[in-house]
């Protein structure tokens, strides 16, 4: 640096900072030897705070406005300097401009999935990300705790530390909330507000104010999302049997309208048989699952078992079939008599029991009715 450059930079008349960036939070005003001329002008614009540092200590803080740097405007610095002959000579001090505007679009997100226990899915892993806004609320604290002697401090120099705080507190809050995974999207605003209130005191320790935290997305692993999509698709389709029949009918119509010759005709016939088979199976399943109402007397008796069985008429109603052992008990109980009508496979009509050869041995134990005179 030449003599004239030194001389020109030694006495500073105007102190100001024009910020052309979007991410600079602190700027140190540079000048030769840190010497400021008595009566110099200080311009602090909106969203700025000027801090004078003398011998490593914060001396005076200036809010937005235009100042003439004289003794009455620098009470703390004047006390620290302790001039014996007034305040007419240049003085030394470092000037830091702190940007107090709102910094938006700070990003946060989980590096690793958050392990949680969900009531519906069981153990799951969730990823989350979002954004937040902050501003410098206490310039002196921010300068002491974070910036130090950094002459140009950008927002990305603190974003990693703040992101770690947000992710840690968010993971803890999400685990304690016990909100089902499928209901998280309906609680993004509530989660964001809760996290904002929870970690605001930690930001204040750095001289920062957390004004807004947004939860943009909470997602499941890709494999789980694919399984969930399949489950949702099944719910949308509803009855799969009806859906299959509908698809088969559409295929038949398309095949019939396709002038592809015998190949297309054969394909259409094959689809028709497949549809008929599916419909037949569906009807059979419905018949099996649908209970039949009981009737007083079947049109045709049920098929024979391996042993000889007889149906007997009791009070005009068909009962049975009964094998020989059961019929013997009914003879003893008086339910089966000589005049009781019976029927078995191969008989042309119902016949009284006394005329059936197989039952004569059973009825022989019972005396005939007493004749009347």
What pLDDT is stored for residue 199 in this prediction? 92
Task: Convert the pLDDT of each residue in 162-195 to its tens digit.
Answer: 999 999 999 998 888 888 888 888 999 999 999 9
What pLDDT is stored for residue 367 in this prediction? 61
Residues 44-53, mean pLDDT to the nearest whole number: 92
Residues 323-347, mean pLDDT to the nearest whole number: 81
- Is 345:335 a contact under the CB 8 Å cutoff? no
- Percent of the chain at pLDDT > 70 equals 69
What pLDDT is stored for residue 189 in this prediction? 92
Per-residue pLDDT band at 33 (split at 50, 70, 90): low
Per-residue pLDDT band at 302 (split at 50, 70, 90): low
Q: Token pair for residue 178? A: 């016990």
Which one of 4-13, 31-40, 80-89 scores highest in mean pLDDT?
A: 31-40
Statement: residue 264 has pLDDT above 50 = no
What pLDDT is stored for residue 5 in this prediction? 46
229 or 201: whose pLDDT is higher?
201
Q: What is the pTM of this model?
A: 0.55
Residue 350: phi, psi to the nearest 5?
A: -65, 140
Per-residue pLDDT band at 141 (split at 50, 70, 90): very high
- Is 119:68 a contact under the CB 8 Å cutoff? no
225 or 274: whose pLDDT is higher?
225
Per-residue pLDDT band at 84 (split at 50, 70, 90): very low
- Helix pair angle (222-237, 240-257), 10° resolution: 80
Q: What is the DSSP pairing of strand 35-44 with strand 12-15?
A: parallel
Statement: residue 63 has pLDDT above 90 = yes
Per-residue pLDDT band at 361 (split at 50, 70, 90): confident
Residues 61-68, mean pLDDT to the nearest whole number: 91
- Is 209:116 a contact under the CB 8 Å cutoff? no
What pLDDT is stored for residue 1 in this prediction? 45
Residues 314-329, mean pLDDT to the nearest whole number: 81
Of the chain, the end-to-end C-alpha distance in Å amounts to 158
What pLDDT is stored for residue 6 in this prediction? 44
- Is 275:248 a contact under the CB 8 Å cutoff? yes
Cis peptide bond upstream of 321, omega within 30: yes
What pLDDT is stored for residue 4 in this prediction? 42
What pLDDT is stored for residue 36 in this prediction? 77
Per-residue pLDDT band at 332 (split at 50, 70, 90): confident
């Amino acid at each position: 640096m030449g003599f004239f450059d030194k001389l020109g930079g030694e006495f500073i008349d105007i102190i100001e900072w024009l910020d052309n960036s979007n991410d600079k939070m602190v700027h140190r005003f540079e000048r030769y030897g840190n010497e400021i001329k008595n009566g110099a002008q200080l311009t602090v614009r909106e969203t700025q705070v000027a801090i004078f540092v003398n011998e490593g200590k914060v001396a005076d803080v200036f809010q937005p406005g235009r100042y003439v740097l004289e003794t009455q405007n620098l009470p703390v610095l004047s006390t620290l300097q302790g001039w014996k002959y007034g305040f007419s000579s240049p003085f030394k001090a470092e000037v830091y401009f702190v940007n107090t505007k709102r910094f938006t679009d700070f990003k946060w997100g989980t590096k690793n999935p958050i392990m949680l226990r969900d009531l519906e899915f069981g153990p799951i892993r969730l990823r989350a990300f979002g954004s937040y806004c902050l501003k410098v609320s206490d310039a002196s604290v921010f300068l002491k705790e974070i910036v130090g002697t950094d002459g140009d401090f950008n927002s990305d120099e603190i974003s990693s530390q703040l992101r770690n705080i947000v992710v840690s507190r968010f993971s803890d809050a999400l685990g304690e909330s016990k909100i089902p995974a499928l209901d998280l999207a309906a609680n993004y605003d509530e989660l964001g507000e809760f996290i904002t209130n929870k970690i605001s005191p930690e930001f204040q320790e750095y001289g920062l104010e957390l004004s807004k935290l947004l939860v943009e997305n909470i997602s499941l692993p890709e494999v789980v999302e694919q399984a969930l999509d399949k489950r949702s698709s099944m719910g949308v389709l509803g009855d799969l049997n009806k859906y299959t029949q509908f698809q088969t009918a559409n295929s038949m119509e398309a095949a019939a309208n396709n002038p592809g010759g015998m190949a297309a005709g054969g394909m259409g016939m094959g689809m028709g048989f497949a549809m008929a088979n599916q419909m037949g199976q569906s009807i059979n399943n419905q018949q099996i699952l649908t209970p039949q109402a009981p009737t007083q007397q079947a049109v045709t008796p049920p098929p024979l078992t391996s042993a000889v069985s007889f149906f007997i008429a009791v009070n005009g109603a068909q009962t049975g079939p009964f094998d020989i052992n059961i019929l013997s008990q009914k003879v003893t109980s008086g339910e089966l008599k000589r005049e009781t009508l019976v029927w078995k496979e191969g008989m042309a009509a119902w016949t009284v029991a006394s005329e059936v050869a197989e039952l004569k041995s059973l009825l022989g134990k019972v005396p005939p009715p007493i004749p009347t005179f």
